[in-house]
Structure 1
Amino acid sequence: MPLLRCLSWIAFLLSATAAAAEDAVVRGLDYIPLAVKDLEQAQADFEALGFVLKPGRPHANGLRNTHAKFPDGTEIELITALSASDALSSDYIEWLQRGDGPAFLGFFASNPKALKERLALQNLSLERVFFSRRQHSPTDRPEHFAHPNTAFALSGVWLAGAEAERRLLPLLGANPVEAPVCSPFGADAAAYSLPEARVVFLPAKVQLVPGRSIVGVTLTVRDLQAARHVLETGRVAIARPPGCEGRSLWVGPNAAHGLWLEFHQPTPP
């Protein structure tokens, strides 16, 4: 009987996890626009980090961009504004007055109707968060995903002082999980899991710039040693916080234009 009860409990947990995944209106991350003053310098720096960058397209409002894209549709967008010609470009110009850094956070929501219905029940102010369906461009080519650092997905984000997002995510299907111990931010953290990403919440005191909540992102890599080799070849400083035990490498905001980058290789099942 004890074994039977144990198996029944495992079956219950598996079914509950599957149900939670099905209930998740937000599935993971979409993309993060990283605002930079000098796009050419940022491109060179991200190439030194081991990314292949896909050139962006001309924008009527003077925005210029380039993309570090991944096969699942996630990406980091490097973006700059030449002039304040409309509301969006004006926002970027103002944002960059306080330095480079991630300007918005995009979540992946494959069902806009369900998302709209769920959001209508809430009364939360999300100023720099958007929801999208991931863009798979017909101009994407396999070489755009062949990053020397072996990254293949934007799989996590680290938020400091983001109380509205912390209240909202569980309502959109995120589940609380054990907080990661491998980070440069200290032990005071809470984590939530989405079907395709993890979101870690930190106290506001670890914000790199006051008022900016996005302090780091996690990139899943196939080969952490290959990522290490690329970083060392590019003479990029690698941070080694306690608790990582060979699972992750961290690159600081000076090298990554205003945010921490975690290169993480999952433990094989």
Structure 2
Amino acid sequence: MANYIRGLDHAVIAVRDLNQAAETFARLGFTLTPKGVHSEWGTANHCIMFGQDYIALQAAEGAGSEAESLRAYTAQHEGLIGIAIGSDNGAAAIESLRRAGLDVPDPASLSRKLETPKGTATLMFSETLLPAEATPGVRSRLVQHITAERERFPEWMAHPNGAFGIAAITAIIDEPAALTASWDKVFGPHSSVLTDTTVTVHTGRGLVFLTPPDDVTQLHPEAELDELPPAPALVALALQVADTGRAAELLARNKVSFSRDSEGTIRIPPSEAHGVFIEMVGG
């Protein structure tokens, strides 16, 4: 475990209307947590919790620099805006990354208040926005969950589509091969593997694919990605599901547009998921 980093902690999907996004992802077969509010940021979210990672649907609802940044993003499009990298010791991780030559700022406190099965709870985090040179092409944060015991309940992790974790996240980058040294500095030597023009980053939990825009369909065959945002951008999210057949039946019942290949992989176009191309793969 390099730099006290455990791997991917969560992916953030920026949306304009949080209620509408919650309805959309419920239709895709996900169970969502109650709405949580970040008073420090002026943002709010619903989360899709898995055993070790999760997805955050996030919208700007108040004042603050984070809210304004989110509004500027969603004024152009919705979709994956960033990733969070997890650590059990955020202070040690920051010092280790600094020794590696990265200018990482001091951590800040963040809270999220929401209703849980055990009553109203305030979840506490320590987080810091990593500098652009740490994970070039992908906006990332380092996060430590201070109150992890309050975040997961069995009913929150029971998803009708059978999803149980993030398999991979794909970003389009103009020249991925030039970035392996930077990503290795964060996740450890040889964590970034170059194959042809695509870099696969092994984070310790979940993969990050960095691929040129013209080659993204080699990673995601038959994907409906005709209108990609300009690089660099996060464009795809692959999720593990217990049974792709069961997930496909649910999507069909809910009249979701999707395709499925001979191996069972489900592909949901961005038009059905607030700008995110979603793959569901067998776990």
TM-score by length of 2: 0.72
Range moving further from structure 2, 85-94 or 114-123: 114-123
SS at the partner of 2:161? coil
Q: Say yes or no: does 1:76 pair with 2:55.
A: yes
| Structure 1 unaligned spans of 5+ | 1-21, 180-186
Greater C-alpha radius of gyration? 1
Range moving further from structure 2, 169-178 or 254-263: 169-178
SS at the partner of 2:45? strand
Provide the alpha-carbon RMSD of the alignment: 2.7
Identity %: 24
Q: Can you list the C-alpha shifts for 1:224-248, whole angstroms capped at 9, x where unaligned?
A: 11111111111212234xxx64252
Q: Say yes or no: does 1:196 pair with 2:210.
A: no
Instruction: Give 1:34 shift.
Output: 0.8
Partner of 1:231: 251
Instruction: Give 1:104 shift.
Output: 1.7
| Alignment counterpart, residue 15 of structure 2, candidates 8, 20, 36 | 36
Partner of 1:5: none
Runs of 4+ with deviation above 6 angstroms: none
Partner of 1:128: 139
Cα distance in 2 between the residues matched to 1:165 and 1:257: 29
TM-score by length of 1: 0.75
Q: Say yes or no: does 1:258 pair with 2:272.
A: no
Cα distance in 1 between the residues matched to 2:203 and 2:37: 34
Cα distance in 2 between the residues matched to 1:201 and 1:139: 30
Partner of 2:75: 97
| Structure 2 unaligned spans of 5+ | 103-132, 217-226
Instruction: Give 1:119 shift.
Output: 4.4
Q: Can you list the C-alpha shifts for 1:193-235, whole angstroms capped at 9, x where unaligned?
A: 2332112111145582114521111211111111111111112
Distance 1:106 1:114, change over 3 A: closer
Q: Can you list the C-alpha shifts for 1:38-63, whole angstroms capped at 9, x where unaligned?
A: 21211111011110000122343542
Cα distance in 1 between the residues matched to 2:58 and 2:194: 34
Q: Can you list the C-alpha shifts for 1:144-169, whole angstroms capped at 9, x where unaligned?
A: 00001111112311111175864332
Instruction: Give 1:125 shift.
Output: 5.4
Cα distance in 1 between the residues matched to 2:79 and 2:232: 8
Distance 1:131 1:49, change over 3 A: same
Cα distance in 1 between the residues matched to 2:155 and 2:170: 28
